[in-house]
Amino acid sequence: MNEPLQPAPFLQKRRIASLWLFTIVSLLVLGVSRPSIDEAGDLDIVLDLCGSFLVLAGVFGRLWSILYIGGRKNHQLVTTGPYSITRNPLYFFSVVAIFGISLMFGSVLVAIAVPLVAFGIFRWTAEREARYLQHLFGPQYSRYANATPLFWPKLSLMRSPSQIGITVGTLQSTLRDALFFIVLLPVMELLEYLRVQEHITALFTIP
């Protein structure tokens, strides 16, 4: 009699490859288009400031999350700090940062569509990871999953220990990941500058 197949850990390379492909395609589209608002106007400045704030919030949120999960993933079920309000804070804060980048473009369609696609990728990954964690931790994960949202945080559940241990290697890796979002800030500003100065010609306008 064949034994049932055990769930395998989700291959993060798939998620990373999907996000890189999505990022490259998005930047190419944004590079040859322009928003319908005036890119030299006051509204554009407000959107840039709001977007930059969200990017920084997403980066610091990811750093906060990695302080708790670093070096423990798939070895210990972490349920405190950011993991007490959502089972996937790293993914949630990544979507926050992506929303910030999208907002800086100045298009309602981009600000809605890009974060939604990113959310779909992270949600798809989170659901598959949940099945593997259920296999690893059994009833302990079931109780955690029943009390804690998969993605969107519930702040009233916040619990934090008095001390946490930090894995330096994982923290360094997360800092490198965070630089990806930080670098996108000047990239978006550069694309806007080139359009305003007519160094590049937009092929179409995105509302």
Number of compact structural domains in the chain: 1
**Number of residues that this document lists for the chain:** 207
Assess if residue 3 is contained within a domain. Answer: no
Assess if residue 76 is contained within a domain. Answer: yes
Average pLDDT over residues 108-135: 93
Assess if residue 188 is contained within a domain. Answer: yes
Interval 178-203: pLDDT, tens: 788 888 899 888 888 888 888 888 88
Can you give the residue range of the structural domain that contains 32? 12-206
Assess if residue 5 is contained within a domain. Answer: no
Q: Backbone phi, then psi, for 31, in 5-degree steps?
A: -70, -25
Nearest to 114 by CA among 106, 105, 102, 124: 102
Can you give the pTM of this predicted structure? 0.88
Assess if residue 103 is contained within a domain. Answer: yes
Which pair of tokens denotes residue 131? 């099945």
Nearest to 106 by CA among 160, 197, 12, 30: 30
Nearest to 92 by CA among 52, 131, 61, 130: 61
Assess if residue 2 is contained within a domain. Answer: no
Interval 58-103: pLDDT, tens: 999 998 998 888 777 778 899 999 999 999 999 999 999 999 999 9
Assess if residue 7 is contained within a domain. Answer: no
Assess if residue 43 is contained within a domain. Answer: yes
- CA quadruple 165, 167, 173, 175: dihedral positive or negative? positive
Interval 50-63: pLDDT, tens: 999 999 999 999 98
